[in-house]
A = this chain, B = another copy of it.
Amino acid sequence: MEVRDCLISAPGKAILHGEHAVVHGKVALAVSLNLRTYLKLKARSDGKVCINLPNIDTFVCWELSELKQLTSSSDKKEEIQRLDAELVKSLREFIGVTNGNLDSSASAILAFLYIYLSLFGSGDMPSLTVSVWSELPTGAGLGSSAAYSVCLAAAFLCATGNIPTPLKEWEQTGRWCQEDLELINSWAFQGEKIIHGNPSGVDNAVGTWGGMLRFLAGKIIPLSRVPLLRILLTNTKVPRSTKVLVARVKDKINKFPSIMIPVLDSVDAISCACEKVLTEMTCEPITGDHYNILEELIDINQHHLNVIGVGHPSLDTLCQVTAARGLHSKLTGAGGGGCGITLLRPETDSTTVQGTMKDLRDRGYDCWETSIGGPGVQQHFPSSVKEEIMEVLNQY
Contacts and interface: CB of A to CB of B under 8 A. Distances in A.
Given A303-B307, A307-B304, A266 B272 contact: no
A306 interface: yes
A259 B270 contact: yes
Interface in A250-275: 256, 258-260, 262-263, 265-266, 269-270, 272-273
Contacts of A266: 258-260, 262-263, 266, 307
Which size bracket describes the interface of A in this complex?
A: 20 to 34
A80 interface: no
Contacts of A303: 303-304, 306-307
A392 interface: no
A244 interface: no
Contacts of A256: 269, 273, 296, 300
Nearest to A266: B262
Interface in A277-316: 296-297, 299-300, 303-304, 306-307
A321 to B, nearest CB: 13
Contacts of A259: 266, 269-270, 273, 297, 300
Contacts of A273: 256, 258-259
B269 A258 contact: yes
A29 to B, nearest CB: 14
Contact of A262 (B265, B272, B296, B297): B265
Copies of this chain in the oligomer? 2
Interface in A204-259: 256, 258-259
A265 to B, nearest CB: 4
Nearest to A263: B266
A296 B255 CA distance: 11
Given A263-B263, A263-B266, A266-B263, A272 B300 contact: no
Nearest to A316: B320
A259 B21 CA distance: 14
A292 to B, nearest CB: 10
A28 to B, nearest CB: 16
Contacts of A263: 262-263, 266
Contacts of A304: 303, 307
Most chain B C-beta atoms within 10 Å of own C-beta, residue among A260, A266, A270, A297: A266
A307 B299 CA distance: 8
B258 A262 contact: no
A259 to B, nearest CB: 4
Contacts of A272: 258
A28 B299 CA distance: 25
A263 B307 CA distance: 11
Contacts of A262: 262-263, 265-266, 269
14 contacts: A256-B273, A256-B296, A258-B272, A258-B273, A259-B269, A259-B273, A262-B263, A262-B269, A263-B263, A266-B266, A266-B307, A303-B303, A303-B304, A304-B307
